[in-house]
Chains A and B, each alone.
Chain A
């Protein structure tokens, strides 16, 4: 008694429970082994069918920009936390100096502001008419001012670098 076509199909599809029995039969029956071999060849031919190429790019409607999106490095979000922490530290450190440096604020009237503006504007025009290259003044800052400026420069650098990294990874 030979194996049925269904048994051979299910054997190759790995969908039979009695695999061992089928294999015993196949080892003893040349005819069934040949039928299995023919069927296996058909499977192989179908599954090795080469893929055809597309004539158009299906990704085009989805692409707003070219190039691969870069994967964001895991540490990048830390720069934002670092920026916030640095800004907070500088703010606390600078607060006493800023409070000391800022004079009491008086709220001038609109007419006063306009008069001041006109005065400044006239003075600026006068200075511009008599402009000549000034010699550079000597650079002198008190320690507290230097400290404040350095801190602000560090924060600015951190801010620029952090945002630069974030923007570079946008696409």
Chain B
């Protein structure tokens, strides 16, 4: 028997089947957590806000348009939550260093990829919050300039300038670490 579609799970969740929503969470939790992590770069907060995003989605499931794709929607809910979190807390938390304890046992090529990924994460995390959000929405959620402007309620010119400056900073940081 085929796995139920997202639409089926949403309809079941609307009928009070919390487990159906749990299955949706299982499908999208890694992606949603990574949205939060790229913006916050703090694992505990990222997991908490990812959980909060799913709880809010569950509360709004009755009014969710089932013809809409759930994945992009929940990722945007998570990005908004992180944005609000950054604005309300003015987070200056120490950045996580995601390193694997057994990385010394990995092949050199794999270690290099991991180290480069970590450099990119650290470079992203060091950006101003306003830049991080725009980078997240453009590069990871594939939104257009206009969509980002509408989502963040900022002028189109700010979207462009934030994005271009963010990329310049990232290039400088990553070039410096090469």
Whether B9 and A69, one on each chain, are in contact in the complex, defined by CB atoms closer than 8 angstroms, is: yes
Min CB–CB distance B44 → chain A (angstroms): 9
Whether A45 and B50, one on each chain, are in contact in the complex, defined by CB atoms closer than 8 angstroms, is: no
- Which one, B29, B37, B117, contacts A57 given CB within 8 A? B29
Instruction: Known A42-B174, A49-B121; judge A54-B19 contact (CB<8 A).
Output: no
Min CB–CB distance B127 → chain A (angstroms): 11
Secondary structure class of chain B's binding surface, majority of residues: helix
Whether A54 and B29, one on each chain, are in contact in the complex, defined by CB atoms closer than 8 angstroms, is: yes
Q: What A residues does B167 contact at CB under 8 A?
A: 9, 39, 42
Using an 8 Å CB-CB cutoff, how does the interface string of B34-67 with A read, 1 for contact, 0 for none?
Answer: 1001100001000100110011001000000000
Whether B144 and A62, one on each chain, are in contact in the complex, defined by CB atoms closer than 8 angstroms, is: no
Which residues of B pack against A, CB within 8 Å? Answer: 1-4, 8-9, 12, 17-23, 25-26, 29-34, 37-38, 43, 47, 50-51, 54-55, 58, 98, 113, 116-117, 120-121, 124, 135, 138-140, 144-145, 160, 163-164, 167-168, 170-171, 174
Considering only residues 61-98 of chain A, those with a C-beta below 8 Å from chain B are 61-65, 68-71
Total interface residues on A, using CB and 8 Å? 35
Complexed CA–CA distance, A57 and B164 (Å)? 36
- Which one, B33, B43, B138, contacts A58 given CB within 8 A? B33
Q: Looking across the interface, which residue of chain B has its beta carbon closest to that of A51? A: B34
Q: What A residues does B20 contact at CB under 8 A?
A: 69
Q: What A residues does B113 contact at CB under 8 A?
A: 50
Q: Looking across the interface, which residue of chain B has its beta carbon closest to that of A53? A: B30
Which residues of A pack against B, CB within 8 Å? Answer: 5-6, 9-10, 13, 15, 38-39, 42-43, 45-47, 49-65, 68-71, 171
Whether A58 and B19, one on each chain, are in contact in the complex, defined by CB atoms closer than 8 angstroms, is: no
Q: What A residues does B31 contact at CB under 8 A?
A: 51
Secondary structure class of chain A's binding surface, majority of residues: loop
Min CB–CB distance A151 → chain B (angstroms): 34
Q: What B residues does A63 contact at CB under 8 A?
A: 18-19, 22
Whether A68 and B120, one on each chain, are in contact in the complex, defined by CB atoms closer than 8 angstroms, is: no
Whether A45 and B58, one on each chain, are in contact in the complex, defined by CB atoms closer than 8 angstroms, is: no
Whether B4 and A71, one on each chain, are in contact in the complex, defined by CB atoms closer than 8 angstroms, is: yes
Whether A62 and B164, one on each chain, are in contact in the complex, defined by CB atoms closer than 8 angstroms, is: no
Q: Looking across the interface, which residue of chain B has its beta carbon closest to that of A43? A: B139
Whether A59 and B23, one on each chain, are in contact in the complex, defined by CB atoms closer than 8 angstroms, is: yes
Min CB–CB distance A94 → chain B (angstroms): 37
Min CB–CB distance A57 → chain B (angstroms): 7
Whether B116 and A64, one on each chain, are in contact in the complex, defined by CB atoms closer than 8 angstroms, is: no
Complexed CA–CA distance, A150 and B4 (Å)? 40
Min CB–CB distance A36 → chain B (angstroms): 12
Whether A69 and B164, one on each chain, are in contact in the complex, defined by CB atoms closer than 8 angstroms, is: no
Whether B51 and A49, one on each chain, are in contact in the complex, defined by CB atoms closer than 8 angstroms, is: no
Complexed CA–CA distance, A65 and B167 (Å)? 46
Min CB–CB distance A130 → chain B (angstroms): 58
Complexed CA–CA distance, A60 and B144 (Å)? 34
Whether B140 and A47, one on each chain, are in contact in the complex, defined by CB atoms closer than 8 angstroms, is: yes
Min CB–CB distance A46 → chain B (angstroms): 5
Whether B164 and A6, one on each chain, are in contact in the complex, defined by CB atoms closer than 8 angstroms, is: yes
Complexed CA–CA distance, A50 and B139 (Å)? 14
Q: Looking across the interface, which residue of chain A has its beta carbon closest to that of B140? A: A47
Whether B21 and A62, one on each chain, are in contact in the complex, defined by CB atoms closer than 8 angstroms, is: yes
Q: Looking across the interface, which residue of chain A has its beta carbon closest to that of B34? A: A51
Q: Which 9 A-B pairs have the closest CB atoms?
A: A62-B22, A59-B25, A63-B22, A59-B22, A58-B29, A59-B26, A71-B4, A51-B34, A62-B21
